[in-house]
Chain A
Amino acid sequence: MSSYQQPDASGHFGPYGGSFVSETLTHAILELREAYARYQHDPAFLAEFHYELKHFVGRPSPVYHAARTSREMGGAQIYLKREDLNHTGAHKINNVIGQAMLAKRMGKPRVIAETGAGQHGVATATICARYGLECVVYMGSEDVKRQSPNVYRMKLLGASVVPVESGSKTLKDALNEAMRDWVANVDNTFYIIGTVAGPHPYPMMVRDFQSVIGKECLEQMPPMLAEQKVLGQQPDVVIACVGGGSNAMGIFHPYIPYEKTRLIGVEAAGEGLETGKHSASLQKGSAGVLHGNRTFILQDDNGQITETHSISAGLDYPGVGPEHAWLQEVGRAEYVGITDKEALEAFHYLCRTEGIIPALESSHAVAYAMKLAKTMHPDQSILVNLSGRGDKDIGTVADLSGEDFYDRPSMRGLSVKGAAGDTKP
């Protein structure tokens, strides 16, 4: 994999990726490809990008040795890449800055975005406030309820949030609606996609912006591993959760040439991979065309997209970035599942053991790392991308755990997805 060069000029990762959009959007897509090609390697653009990452986001984010967790697991040393410490609370901000900078340069005064957990919406609303851009965020009405603190944050930041009532009322429907808005307003509107999906160049562009995560790790890990007298210059395993797959691509991509490092993506197994109630597109899906690219999707025999399930709104998506489909096919990355229950347990564990409240999305990655660590040795290492912090999820968790808390969804008359009752740790 030392010569990994993906995608090709037309945005294909092997048979995946590409650009499957209606004619009305073709022009906008070509315009964006041109703009990105122009600025991708432009020193002034990159200097501004890194300035923003440093001074606005707070990068580099640290890598933290989860010493207590590692000791208690009795196996590999677990390290956490602290994307939760970024401004706005997740990795999403990295990509949003890059795309908003493009929007400015392309003279598009209006920005639209789709959001699941709300983190991408908050990041987009934040950057629009900072750059003086109009911001409209589409969000499934189901997610609007589940993630009300983030909805309010977006409003505080001056964005309008549009609840989407169609389909399953979650992330995929928000994406459809954002695409429709883009079709109608292509002249003045830039669509900031929040993950490594969508038509070319989005999967590549978002990956490039998010790769800052893995690039930092490449520098941070050798001294950290040496300090703990762990073998090797780089971790034995890198683990990240996969919804659309942007935080995972961000940390995986720089590691692709490091073949001794295993790359493991954790999908939401929901109530179990065999129950049909999950969001594990790579493990349980098949190839198809959705949202402008060919990738693995969850679908029925008629090619209709099926309903997904996860306690974590950010992972509740029936597709996945095309580069992950490719990495799975060529065997460079492995994909596994973690259930709602396991994720919730890991969430509580990390709170109590490390003093870190992780996002429910990230808790999936943490849960798998804890499982895997037990099968490894103390002189081995696992790097987990802690993609975001869990503030947005505390109401959901309180409900699932049966805890008393004034802002839990059930107090607002709403139900929470996930196996309530039996998940109390």
Chain B
Amino acid sequence: MSRIQTTFEQLKAQGRKALIPYVTAGFPFADITPALMHGMVEAGADVIELGVPFSDPMADGPVIQKAGEKALGLGIGMVQVLDHVREFRKRNTTTPVVLMGYANPVERYDQKHGTGAFVRDASAAGVDGVLIVDYPPEECEAFAASLREHGMDLIFLLAPTSTDERMAQVARVASGYVYYVSLKGVTGSGALDTAAVEQMLPRIRKHVDIPVGVGFGIRDAATAQAIGKVADAVVIGSRIIQLIEDQEHAKVVPLTVDFLRGVRKALDA
């Protein structure tokens, strides 16, 4: 059983919802990511989504785009991201780590290090799942097969515009969990409509029998709580990035921990 599956089954047994924070690797400081990941776990994170910076993040809003630009400026590429995961795994062997990013850096890694190198190295580093924003199911069959071989999960997005047919198609290849993008827009866009999310989830569950997380636009404990009532997981990204973007080194981890503790508390209430 994959670490992601184990985590969700344990949570289900406890009647709890997963808290999934997102942070761009190497942001806001090149060396802070492993410590930040440990801090997130301490604060109650169940899965960590680690963003792989990309120069042209078409589906991200300005907050995550700026974080990516900063990380790129600090020299963070796929090699460094895998180093972060390896470092994290030295002291944590249970919390699942999902890499989130775009197709090109992944494909380039294979061009430079040999076919299949990305999946092999990510798996060896301790990565549990991968979410490639611009890999729709029909364009990544070989990649999906290779991930499966290594026991890794391929996580897909669903959107308010996804048709039932599309949900069924995604359900056929998705594993780990499905990530429902709660609004039409890029990451970090305006307020999320919890009523609309509530209506959508039963439709998704008709096709998808793995856990469903909801993200894009969750900014505070109250929204997280509302979403937690209907979804299996809440994903929080832009809000954390904003919280730490202008902080000095020593404050990054404590601020994130504080914030996530509040969300965790609301989620468990």
Residues of A in contact with B (beta carbons under 8 Å apart): 10, 18-24, 26-28, 166-167, 172-173, 176, 179-180, 183-187, 286-292, 297, 299, 301-305
Contacts and interface: CB of A to CB of B under 8 A. Distances in A.
Contacts of A291: 56, 58
A301 B157 contact: no
Contact of A26 (B102, B107, B162, B189): B162
A101 B156 CA distance: 34
A318 B171 CA distance: 35
A27 B181 contact: no
A20 B161 contact: no
Contacts of B138: 10, 19
Chain A, interface SS category: mixed
B108 A26 contact: no
Contacts of A10: 138
Given A10-B138, A21-B136, A27-B166, A186 B55 contact: no
A172 B133 CA distance: 18
B54 interface: yes
Contacts of B103: 20, 289
Contacts of A290: 56, 104
A304 B105 contact: yes
Nearest to A168: B55
Interface centre among A23, A183, A290 (most CB of B within 10 A): A23
B157 to A, nearest CB: 4
A18 B139 contact: yes
B54 A304 contact: yes
Contact of A303 (B57, B105, B189): B105
A182 B139 CA distance: 21
Given A22-B134, A304-B54, A288 B59 contact: no
9 nearest A-B pairs in the assembled complex, by CB-CB distance = A303-B108, A302-B77, A303-B105, A27-B161, A22-B59, A184-B185, A23-B157, A24-B159, A289-B103
A304 B139 CA distance: 20
Nearest to B158: A23
A149 to B, nearest CB: 28
Nearest to A31: B161
Contact of B107 (A24, A288, A292): A288
Interface string B90-115: 00000000000011111111011000
A409 to B, nearest CB: 26
A304 B159 CA distance: 27
Given A186-B184, A292-B134, A303 B104 contact: yes
B78 interface: yes
B161 A26 contact: yes
Interface centre among A24, A167, A287, A292 (most CB of B within 10 A): A24
8 contacts: A20-B139, A24-B159, A173-B56, A176-B58, A180-B61, A290-B56, A291-B58, A301-B112
Contacts of B159: 22-24, 26-27
B105 A28 contact: no
B11 interface: no
Given A19-B136, A24-B159, A180-B186, A304 B59 contact: no
Contacts of B56: 167, 172-173, 176, 290-291, 305
A186 B136 CA distance: 18
Nearest to A21: B134
A138 to B, nearest CB: 12
B135 interface: yes
Contacts of A183: 59, 184-186
A28 B65 CA distance: 23
Nearest to B161: A27
B184 A289 contact: no
Given A26-B159, A287-B111, A289-B103, 7 more contacts: A22-B159, A23-B159, A24-B160, A176-B57, A289-B134, A303-B78, A303-B105
B72 interface: yes
Given A299-B104, A299-B108, A304 B184 contact: no
Nearest to B65: A166
B158 A288 contact: no
A23 B61 CA distance: 15
Contacts of B181: 23-24
A187 B183 CA distance: 12
B2 interface: no
Contacts of A185: 184
Given A27-B161, A167-B55, A184-B189, A289 B61 contact: no
B163 interface: yes
A288 B162 contact: no
Contacts of A184: 184-186, 189
B170 to A, nearest CB: 8
B108 A180 contact: no
Contacts of B111: 286-287
Contacts of B62: 166
A304 B77 contact: yes
A10 B136 CA distance: 12
A137 B198 CA distance: 35
A167 B58 CA distance: 12
A23 B72 contact: no
Contacts of A26: 136, 159, 161-162, 166
Nearest to A28: B161
Contacts of A289: 102-104, 107, 134
B104 A27 contact: no
B204 to A, nearest CB: 12
A184 B59 CA distance: 10
A187 B184 contact: yes
B226 to A, nearest CB: 22
Nearest to A304: B55
B139 A19 contact: yes
Contacts of B108: 288, 299, 301-303
Contacts of B72: 304
Nearest to A307: B55
B189 A20 contact: no
